[in-house]
Chain A
Amino acid sequence: MNKLSTETPAQSAKPTIFFDGVSSRRRQVTLTLGDALEIAEEGGGPVVWPYADIRRADSPAGILRLACASAPPLARLEIRDALLASNVTARCMRLDEHQTSRRGVAKIVGWSMAAAVSIVCVVLFGVPLAADRLAPLVPKPIERRIGDASEVQVKTIFGRNLCEDAAGKAAFIKLVNRLRDAAGLDDDSMTAGVLPTPVPNAFALPGGKVFVLKGLLDKAESPDELAGILAHELGHLKHYDNMRGLIYNGGTSFLIGLLFGDVTGSSAVIFASRSVVEASYSREAETAADTFAIEIMHALGRSPKPAAELMFRITGKEGGGLTSILSSHPLTEDRLARMTKEDRPPSGPPLLTNQEWTALKSICGSGKI
């Protein structure tokens, strides 16, 4: 039996306050520490809190604030006297049971690690697999719609109208058709055109649209150079690279965003890791398109080497180091080396006659743009 501090001087006794969780009235109470904690307000029956139900609630330093699992959820008891507080806490065995413990934190870390590892695995293996499997299954109409949408954007950037010189167009169609037959692409879906812009490039859009930019045509010195590049773009079409890239990029950016959340407060890490992961994926696609181009050129009895020489003329030596990890294309010098290895003397007829080639070169009119 310890009768404690019943006659503590009033000056040192700080009031004990009770809020019943129903009203905001501040009730000054006295506590009786019996079998359970009895909270009595002057002139009212006591409220009884079993010790096992008492939990600690957040409070400023110097105040012990308690809640009770079997009382209204917002009922609070505030003990301001240190001695009384320690007497009460000594009796409440499950006071801090609900707080996040060290083990709880370890659990959070563990689960996050597991989540992160699974996301990384999905990014590295799951998404490419899904992209490879799903891309051929995308219905043609949807693919064509996406293609139409990107065509509008491309034309907004590179000029509204295709080059329409009749003789040049005939030559261009002849070249494209020969490549397409060799590639085994079905005819109905494919269109090709030359856009009047000095940028030296070519690209394939979803739904079978191939665009050559005038700048590339100006730099090309023979039909074989242009044909190799076109064959490479047809490779992209054949492998559904657009749709694969779309699914892949959408999936990875979503997952990597999910992974990092707002940890850095900015998207620099997201951007960097995305570029590295996606660049490696697109490097693979480019290498596969090169392989395809080599096969087509061989099937037509022409060498793939001139196309690589054209690329090299445009980009120059690209270097290595950091840039090679972030680059979306294989290095031009590596491509040149590869195509040089595949170089064979021409065994088939030229793809275009000299007149046709001259006509094609001036498809956008004779003047410079």
Chain B
Amino acid sequence: MNDMQWTPIGSEPLPPPLPPTRVDFTGNRTEFRKLVTKGAMLELVTFGFYRFWLVTDVRRHLWANTAIDGDAAEYTGRAKELLVGFLFALAILVPIYLAYFLVGIEFERWQGFASTPLFISFYAFGQFAIFRARRYRLTRTVWRGVRFWMDGSGWAYSFRAMLWGLLVFLTLGLALPWREASLERYKMRHTHYGDLRGEFAGDGWTFFKRGWWLWLLSPIALVIFPLAPFFYAEFKAREWRWWLDGIRIGGVSLSSELPHNAFYGLYWKVIGWWTLLSAIFGAYIGGATMLVVALSGLSVEQAFGPGNAAKSIPMLVMMVVGYLALALALNIVMRVYLQRDLWAKVLETVDVHNIAAAADVRGSAELASALGEGFADGLDVAGF
């Protein structure tokens, strides 16, 4: 019989007093890079079906390495749920696509290109999907043995998003801060951690004051193209900070000191990689062309000229292979910089106030299905 006692002796660590607690991200970057590299390759050989597993692994890594008040979170979602959600969403979307097609014909008969507004219905569906996907992710997020959950209605959310979307369109984007504040309020008020209810304290005016000049300057970025990433990074940083500052759950609140220039480096690194990889791809295509020309013993004109369809097939294959390799590399770069690094960068600025309010929360609620994620995947609106 193995009989072992484990008795830590000594004083218990006192619960942290008033100063805010930090959020720590302890994820190993190399490990993450290996994870997404392997995932991207598997995605390639499985024609993309591996995406459900990769997305799940990425979330598991990020969640498990994020510790609030010393306790790491956990993502309990599984890839099979996403796959099933995707298949269900497909079963629902296919008849809708067909109906869309038939309705479109009726509209066209009446007036050419009149069916364009029908795209709006897909936008509505996309918003619904975003809400439901968020619900899925939250119900798979566990901290201290209690899960987050959401109520509220996806369609009610979609309706709000549509109306605000219209207003943003009519005001040329000026209403965007108020749209975000309103939608965030809806989402956070229907967000719960155990028996604590969420709230969103941010308001549109604050966001507007932080970013209005970006709105004014945005036409410049259209002219002077290299400025665009700066503007976007600036906007994103301000948006993140405003969003984090507004989050409340029960008595717990967040605040963030995210500097306005926090994302410059990230975006420029992505652009740098993108340029480098494109250059390599270009050189590869050039090299492949020369190789084909050299091997076939024809001039460039002849090789791609009339009557040489058969000779251009190896060229086509080489191009496809090169393109897939490029897509794969870009996929890895995006995930490492725009998911992992961005996540780490944001979290290191976050302070959690009054975490003691979440010290004894009772768990409740049921799991939501992954149908929303499936729709989001089918409609290509997913976040992460």
Known: A24-B146, A63-B72, A76-B145. A322 touches B6 (CB 8 A): no
Does A61 lie within 8 Å of B28, measured CB to CB? yes
Query: Which residues of chain B are within 8 angstroms of A262 by Cβ–Cβ distance?
Result: 48, 51, 377, 380
Q: How far is the CA of A155 from the CA of B313 in the complex (A)?
A: 39
Does A60 lie within 8 Å of B65, measured CB to CB? yes
Please tell me if B63 contacts chain A, counting CB pairs below 8 Å: yes
Does A60 lie within 8 Å of B111, measured CB to CB? no
Does A23 lie within 8 Å of B362, measured CB to CB? yes
Query: Which residues of chain B are within 8 angstroms of A254 by Cβ–Cβ distance?
Result: 94, 97
Query: Which residues of chain A are within 8 angstroms of B143 by Cβ–Cβ distance?
Result: 24
Query: Which residues of chain A are within 8 angstroms of B51 by Cβ–Cβ distance?
Result: 261-263
Q: How far is the CA of A16 from the CA of B72 in the complex (A)?
A: 14
Q: Mark B297-325, 1 if CB is under 8 A from A, else 0.
A: 00000011111110111011000100110
- Report the nearest A residue to B94, measured CB to CB: A254
Does B8 lie within 8 Å of A13, measured CB to CB? yes
Q: How far is the CA of A84 from the CA of B2 in the complex (A)?
A: 13
Instruction: Choose among A3, A14, A112, A156 the residue that contacts B112 (Cβ–Cβ < 8 A).
Output: A156
Does A16 lie within 8 Å of B6, measured CB to CB? yes
Q: How far is the CB of B282 from chain A (nearest CB, A)?
A: 15
Instruction: Choose among A10, A109, A115, A146 the residue that contacts B42 (Cβ–Cβ < 8 A).
Output: A109
Known: A3-B3, A33-B3, A259-B48. A22 touches B109 (CB 8 A): no
Query: Which residues of chain B are within 8 angstroms of A5 by Cβ–Cβ distance?
Result: 4, 6
Query: Which residues of chain A are within 8 angstroms of B123 by Cβ–Cβ distance?
Result: none
Query: Which residues of chain A are within 8 angstroms of B8 by Cβ–Cβ distance?
Result: 10, 13-16, 28, 30
Please tell me if A132 contacts chain B, counting CB pairs below 8 Å: no
Does B5 lie within 8 Å of A32, measured CB to CB? yes
- Report the nearest A residue to B196, measured CB to CB: A24
Query: Which residues of chain B are within 8 angstroms of A19 by Cβ–Cβ distance?
Result: 144-146
Q: How far is the CA of A35 from the CA of B46 in the complex (A)?
A: 44
B46, B111, B361 — which one has the most chain A CB atoms within 10 A of its CB?
A: B46
Chain B residues near A (Cβ < 8 Å) = 1-10, 12-13, 26-28, 42-51, 53, 60, 63-65, 67, 71-72, 74-76, 79, 90, 94, 97, 101, 104-113, 142-147, 194, 303-309, 311-313, 315-316, 320, 323-324, 327, 330-331, 334, 358-363, 377, 380
Sampled A-B contacts (17; CB under 8 Å)? A3-B3, A17-B71, A21-B145, A22-B362, A30-B5, A63-B72, A74-B363, A100-B79, A108-B53, A115-B49, A156-B112, A264-B331, A265-B331, A269-B327, A320-B305, A322-B309, A322-B316
